[in-house]
Structure 1
Amino acid sequence: MTRTRTARITIACAIAYILVMGLGNAIVHNFSHVSYGDTNYVRAMLPFLFLLAAGTLCCFLVRRKQLAPVSNERGRLPLFLLLFLPLVGMALFYVFTNGELSAAFLTPLVATLLVGFAEEMMFRRILYMGLLREPGGQSLKGALLVSSVVFSLLHSVNVLAGSPFSNVLVQLVTTFVAGLFYALMYDYTRNIGLLIASHFLWDYLLLGGAATKIPVFGVVITMLNVAQFIIVVVFLVQRWKQEKAHETAQQAAAPRDHDSMNTTTGM
């Protein structure tokens, strides 16, 4: 299928995002001698995260008319809140018990907020929505798959920051599932702001040290990961059944339409 100009531009924006992230990883690793996962990694990457957030916002503002939602249907919240509220509770507890006005504490907070904003806007609001506006019946499946694959590939550049190849492979799988989850949740909630908040809190709990300092948080996060995977499977099966039913209905309607045309011609 020939891609529309909007789809091509959004894919190009996402690729540019990955290239800038890769460049940032290479620079901080080779010149600042900081590796992915080091305590100083987030601080070293902060200028690139500001650049990515600003670039993402510009991409959206330039293409916002072409990226208008394809449906005005109101979103839902119950299922999303089931996974979102535990993140809020853990983050608040960590801030109240460990918070301090220091660069060491505030830098991960700012960095993960920038990541949450930039990645959700780029890979869900811009890329996923741009692909979703593709003509044809396969656009939904294509948008889910391509946006999730590209989001997963974003994390491959962590190898440039010294992350072990085996760790990157695991991250590619987990972020592919996360990409599917966030895209499906965008369809479900119709609210990119909630996805930004969820992504931000998730990264903050991991990169800000909360899951390390409070071991029970790691257990809860693992449980939420399992819940995300289950939700992805259930939603994809549900979508598959809906599409099969739609295809069956179209096939059943086709002979009736053909007979109606023949009858009209005979008259």
Structure 2
Amino acid sequence: MTPFEYLLPYSLDEALSLLDPEDPGIRPVSGGTAIMLMMKAGVLTPTRLVSLHKIGDQHAAIQRNAAGELLIGGMARLADIERHPTVREKCPLLSQALRGVANPRVRAVATIGGNLSHADPHLDMPPVLSALSARVVITGPDGIRTVNAEDFCTGYYETVVKRDELVTQIIVPAQAGPGAYLKLTTRAAHDWPALGIALVLKVADGKVLSSNIFTGAATDRPTRLLQAQSVLEQQGLAETALRAAGEAAVAETTLMEDAHGSVAYKSQLLRIALPRAIDNALRHSRSHA
């Protein structure tokens, strides 16, 4: 392994000062689950790793603001988010989705900020947070900026975060209505998905007032299914409408082939998964009514 610096700053400002916008060999590290795998595979040879473990417990806090939104620190571990009582009460979709991320050992160390910043298109959190209308707070030498979760990933392993910036907080509104995350894998349930569907519906009297529907894994970034949303909002939740939404999703989405399946295979998964995810959301909502 090529030698590299490993630095341990004791504040956010110090950590930011050790990053370099011009040097791709300098990387921040929080949980380290993705970076260690990349280093072992030889696809990453850093010159400097900047550990975020000592920048302050406040950056791992999980709380609510006056508007009822969840404020999740970028250093919050996935397992802590999943088990947090406020998350389970106000945002059950997030808690449910986190239970299926990787395995308990990974969730015990991986952080939400690191997970998002890695931007592997097969990750669960980007489409889930997009469906929840979450916002991502990014801090850098020029100050703080906020972007919508659905705009955070820009491509394969690419995000809007600059090399001298860090994800410091995720803001998640209280879940607006029934939601579900359904991922279809080719092996174990915790494996990388061939396709994922995350959705939140706002429903009244059997009508869909609004919907957020995103697919992941089969696309290079979380992708909103606008035509499928339109079908549901116009036609409702009848079985024929759900099938039509699935067909609309396939027609509007550019899927990508990878080791988990061909475009034709993933098209069929999407066609089947969307109605199933909607049904899961509605059944879960009725069982907790």
Category of TM-score, reference length = shorter chain: under 0.3
Q: Which has the higher strand share?
A: 2
Whose relative contact order is higher, 1 or 2, with alpha carbons under 8 Å and at least 6 apart? Answer: 1
Name the TM-score, length of structure 2 as normaliser. Answer: 0.26
Q: Which has the higher helix share?
A: 1
